[in-house]
Amino acid sequence: MKLIIRNLSRSTTEEEVKALFQEYGTVQYCDLVTDKSSGGSKGFAFVEMPKPGEAKAATKNLNNMTVGGNKIRVKRAEYKTE
């Protein structure tokens, strides 16, 4: 299940995001979205967790948690179809 994490502090690292989600299960990948020109965080990330039960537990427990001074938002990522 692919999750989107929004409202991340610009100082939060990809490793920190991955570690948060690994507490709830296997993380297939974690991708902190960065600005191409500055290399800095854009304040959101994607996490893929292969087991839906683990992803749901992570979403429930991490949504609205304060990380790096910001209250993060976690939800299932929507896939756009054209």
CATH of the domain at 59: 3.30.70.330
- How many domains does the chain fold into? 1
Residue 23 is part of which domain span? 2-63
Name the token pair of 8. Answer: 């991340």
Which tokens sit at 1?
Answer: 């299940």
Q: What share of the chain in percent tops pLDDT 90?
A: 93
Note whether residue 17 is domain-resident. yes
Closest CA to 40 of 14, 4, 74: 14
Predicted structure pTM score: 0.92
Question: Is residue 68 situated within a structural domain?
Answer: no
- Reported for 22-25, long-range contacts at CB under 8 A and 24+ positions apart, including other chains, are 23/58, 24/49, 24/54, 24/55, 24/57, 24/58, 24/61, 24/62, 25/49, 25/51, 25/53, 25/54, 25/55, 25/57, 25/58
Structural domain includes residue 78: no
What would the mean pLDDT of 62-72 be, rounded to a whole number?
A: 97
What mean pLDDT do residues 7-25 have? 97
Query: Does residue 81 belong to any structural domain of this protein?
Result: no
pLDDT beyond 80 at 77: yes
Does residue 27 form part of some domain?
yes
Is 22 a member of any domain? yes
Domain presence at residue 73: no
Going by pLDDT thresholds of 50, 70 and 90, the confidence category of residue 58 is very high
Output the pLDDT for position 82.
61
